[in-house]
Chain A
């Protein structure tokens, strides 16, 4: 029989405001196994913890129940308290009477009744608790960063700076990501390439960093401190170690008409290409969909002109498996496709472009050499219309847009408008907006400069329709402040497309068993207190994969994720979770159901010899759990019909006891 102590916390008025804590501690004192019950203002305070410690000594407690906040908040605190007073930390149960009780009830009577029931359930469970001892596992002191944009680059640099090896896996032929495509960056207007490319070079030159470009993560096994990751190095048909990046092949390749992804299809590239001049690694890649040699064996020009002999038409995808202690997800974002927004005529007119395409048009290394020219006829545009929130904050149009605010559009649109007016004072620039949101350091000042110094026409209202007529774009819009319809004959329309997580994020989240929200952004372990950690131990989040972010925020989060990784890799041993699955071999039927539902591959089967009561032996197939791999999710215990598989600390009988106590 356990000797249980019950400690009811007031949490100031958080709990005591809607729960009669005195009545709760009195009622729970009468429960089976309870030998001591009290309440106190702040149980988590030093004084509160002392009450627990003293009671453990005085009443020789074997288990304790703390009726307080969510176990996510203070379970660890009270486990430490118990351990310091000499009882096993897994003999502590938390009854959540704050988040699940006092905060959701207004009436003291119902609040108190529910708090007593929740306490009763926790007591019923502690009565069946057993001391548990966690195991130790070593840590592989190497980190993996998935995604080589500014988020991944910064995270990798910071981790490498602390002395740990880092690998970056980037699916494109070069690192750099979206930032490499940008022209100037708000609010200081320094050029993106000038601040990004030195970092890319740093990454390339850092001895601790390996770059797997043109590569993808295909499999993830293992757990925090010990991940086994399979990386697919896609065949680029050019040997990275030999190619000097001279570019001779890219000039001689006869396949010239391939849309250039880096310039968003606004110009062309060859079938063998280097995405841009500052690419890292600066090696050529053959596009197998367009290369004549790879498609029908007729050409071979690049091989002939390559003085280094780096071309290898027989290259195959390579798979390599590496071990990592921590994984950082930095998969970034993309603008949403505009093909569903027919009202803006994006598919009908070349002169309706997205903001990212506008970045390339303004960029000195872009398709026009930095001159603002209309994509249709190469003429200089005089009237420009910027449309904000295209697909963002779009509650009514969830099937084509996003409900959330993409956050960066207000600022880059102000930047585009300002830069246009600055370079081409003969232009008229209109910006249509729902709200202008500029809550960042020097952001509002920046936007006001666009309006006040550069004379950009900001109009509150949405564009209803864009229709190409002749070489003009007829823009129909409403001005909500003046309450009137506006018609503008524009030369160029720029759409601030909503941003969404990269499509590779969803399958990656499945591989990592990391959770995502309904918009496919990765979920944080805690929205406020653990914003750079995923709920899956050892998986960290960097940049826009977690939510829309601008560059300063991305870099800040990248550094934060790196510091969490460094904190993890500094440890030699990790304390595991003792709440793992455990099979009762005598009851196991060997059916494999648990093996097949295990998301971690922690369960295997062996044929084991058993001595039967009649002294004969019998060989039976039984399940075995690798406790270091098991994460204690409990899927197997649900799949097991006979109840042979059970979860330590959350045994079926404990859960039934809780349910029975609640229903009593």
Chain B
């Protein structure tokens, strides 16, 4: 599926390491299973042997730069898919990464498959390969199985918002365009429900939450020095207790905290072991802000201010925003 190969990226990394542009590389390496790819730091040409790139490299590595860019040393090479570049811009805006320390190489993306979707279909995967739009899976007990790749595409890729890199130092391949995706279709479905139906929907989804914190830990907008949920002084940490109502509070508070800052990368839903469509909460916020305050895409431009976390004399009157919501 992907148009760029691992070798192109590794050669680029080797070249930049060799000429001293960068002294370390953020990319991906193989995890426990074939579909399980995790972000990793490579500090030398030798370590790059473990570098992987393929259709399961959905992980957004921009968040790892928060810590890495504050460390001593030279520049860090990072490979970013179009949606990851929005996160990097947002982190730069919030002074969470030092952009000067980063050498961003934009890579094209054809949509990234999810391991969890694969696991739902087959057990005991030995290896996965994609040929064109077909995914070929070798399993331990059932032999080789094939699926159309689209079966394994998450919502974020089916409704991709942009193939355009909003920040990069170098680009591999051609840059794409911002897409007119149907990313709010699911939100509109939820909006059409009655409050009772909607409550039941979220009750069903969020009651599965096991509070593993994976959504928060992966979220490029969640980079606080100390998260309120880890801070006994905040008075919020017990809002995460396993009470059926307060469980929802964790996700709702988190959605408020990232409102206007969420770039809609969809990592929260990708990592959720319970398959909760968390990105829908964020998309509802994005849709509402577009309606009330005008179109805004977090991370599109460094320095842009989210309408809800900003104050200008030109701000619309609250009464005007209310009218737009009617």
**Residues of A bordering B, CB below 8 Å:** 507, 510-511, 518, 586-593, 596-599, 605, 618, 620-621, 635, 639, 641-644, 652-653, 656-657
Contact = CB atoms under 8 A, between A and B. Distances in A.
B3 interface: no
A142 B313 CA distance: 26
Given A590-B96, A644-B225, 14 more contacts: A518-B319, A586-B225, A591-B96, A592-B94, A593-B94, A597-B309, A635-B311, A639-B309, A642-B224, A643-B231, A643-B236, A653-B235, A656-B235, A657-B235
Contacts of A641: 224, 228, 257
12 contacts: A507-B313, A510-B313, A586-B225, A587-B225, A587-B231, A589-B223, A589-B224, A593-B309, A642-B225, A652-B234, A653-B233, A653-B235
Contacts of A656: 235
Contacts of A620: 225
Contacts of A518: 319
A596 B311 CA distance: 6
A589 B225 contact: yes
Nearest to B313: A510
**Chain B: interface secondary structure?**
loop
B96 A597 contact: no
Given A642-B231, A652-B234, A653-B235, A597 B311 contact: yes
B227 interface: yes
Contacts of A586: 225-226
A587 B94 contact: no
A590 B94 CA distance: 7
A602 to B, nearest CB: 12
B305 interface: yes
A596 B310 contact: yes
A599 B311 contact: yes
Interface in B95-139: 95-96
Closest 9 CB pairs of A and B: A642-B224, A591-B94, A641-B257, A656-B235, A589-B225, A593-B309, A510-B313, A643-B234, A597-B311
Contacts of A597: 309-311
A10 B226 CA distance: 47
Contacts of B234: 643, 652-653
A586 B225 CA distance: 8
A423 B224 CA distance: 79
A635 B225 CA distance: 20
A597 B309 CA distance: 6
Interface in B252-303: 257
Nearest to A507: B313
A621 B310 contact: no
A662 B231 CA distance: 24
A643 B228 contact: yes
A642 B227 contact: yes
A163 B194 CA distance: 67
A588 B313 contact: no
Q: Which of A507, A618, A641 has the most CB of B within 10 A?
A: A641
A511 B228 CA distance: 34
Q: Which of B227, B228, B309 has the most CB of A within 10 A?
A: B309
A552 to B, nearest CB: 34
Contacts of B236: 643
Nearest to A518: B319
Contacts of A511: 313
A618 B96 CA distance: 14
A530 B304 CA distance: 41
Nearest to B254: A641
A52 to B, nearest CB: 31
Interface string B73-94: 0000000000000000000011
A596 B305 contact: yes
Given A587-B231, A591-B96, A652-B235, A642 B311 contact: no
A378 B281 CA distance: 70
A336 B157 CA distance: 54
A87 to B, nearest CB: 26
B285 to A, nearest CB: 14
A598 B226 contact: no
Nearest to A511: B313
A587 B95 CA distance: 15
Q: Which of B95, B225, B233, B234 has the most CB of A within 10 A?
A: B225
A305 B159 CA distance: 72
Contacts of B257: 641
B233 A598 contact: no
B95 A591 contact: yes
B310 A588 contact: no
A521 to B, nearest CB: 15
Contacts of B223: 589
Contacts of A590: 94-96
A598 B231 CA distance: 25
Contacts of A635: 311
Nearest to A597: B311
Interface string B218-248: 0000011111100101111000000000000
Contacts of B233: 643, 653
B67 to A, nearest CB: 11
B9 to A, nearest CB: 31
Nearest to B305: A596
Interface string B31-74: 00000000000000000000000000000000000000010000
A597 to B, nearest CB: 5
Nearest to A638: B309
A621 B92 CA distance: 13
A510 B224 CA distance: 32
A122 to B, nearest CB: 18
A152 B245 CA distance: 58
B95 A592 contact: yes
A653 B233 CA distance: 8
Nearest to B93: A592
A125 B162 CA distance: 49
A618 B227 CA distance: 19
Contacts of A643: 228, 231, 233-234, 236
A511 B315 CA distance: 12
A597 B306 CA distance: 10
B152 to A, nearest CB: 33
A340 B56 CA distance: 63
A622 to B, nearest CB: 9
Contacts of B309: 593, 596-597, 639
Contacts of B305: 596
A382 B10 CA distance: 96
B219 to A, nearest CB: 11
Contacts of A599: 311
Contacts of B231: 587, 642-643
A655 to B, nearest CB: 9
Contacts of B235: 652-653, 656-657
A586 B231 CA distance: 12
Q: Which of B93, B96, B311 has the most CB of A within 10 A?
A: B311
Contacts of A596: 305, 309-311
Contacts of A657: 235
Contacts of B225: 586-589, 620, 642, 644
